[in-house]
Amino acid sequence: MSSKLSVRQILKRSGLFASREAMEQAVQQQRVLYKQKPVPHIMFHIPAKDFLFVDGKPLRMLKKRYFILNKPKQYTCQKNESYPYVADLIKVDEPTKKSLFPVGRLDVPSTGLLIITNDGEFASQLLQPKQKVPKTYNVFLKYPLTDAMIDQLRAGVKIHLKGTATEESYQTLPAQIVRLAPDCHDRCLITLVEGKYRQVRMMFKVAGNIVLDLCRVQIGGLKLADVKLAEGAYCEMHGEELKKRVFAPQTI
Active site residue 186: no
The domain made up of 134-219 has a fold known as Alpha-Beta Plaits (3.30.70)
- What is the rounded distance in angstroms from the CA atom of residue 2 to the CA atom of residue 121? 7
Neighbouring-strand partners of residue 33: 38, 53
Return the pLDDT at 24.
94
SS3 135: strand
Whether residue 1 is predicted with pLDDT greater than 50 in this model: the reply is no
Of the CATH numbers 3.30.750.200, 3.10.290.10, 1.10.15.40, 3.40.640.10, which one belongs to the domain with range 4-58? 3.10.290.10
- What is the rounded distance in angstroms from the CA atom of residue 161 to the CA atom of residue 155? 18
Return the pLDDT at 15.
85
Catalytic residue among 107, 151, 183, 226: 107
Sign for the pseudo-dihedral over CA of 4, 116, 126, 222: positive
Produce one character per residue of 113-136: b if its CB has 16 or more CB atoms within 10 Å, e if not. bbbbbbbbbbbbbbeeeeeebbbb
Residues of the chain with CATH 3.30.70.1560: 134-219
pLDDT in tens, 128-142: 888 899 999 999 999
pLDDT in tens, 180-238: 998 899 999 999 999 888 999 999 999 999 999 999 999 999 999 999 999 999 999 99
- What is the rounded distance in angstroms from the CA atom of residue 170 to the CA atom of residue 43? 27
Tell me the pTM: 0.84
Angle CA 193–20–62, to nearest 5: 85
Compute the radius of gyration of the chain from its Cα atoms: 20
Q: Which CATH architecture has domain 66-129+224-246?
A: 2-Layer Sandwich (3.30)
Residues of the chain with CATH 3.10.290.10: 4-58
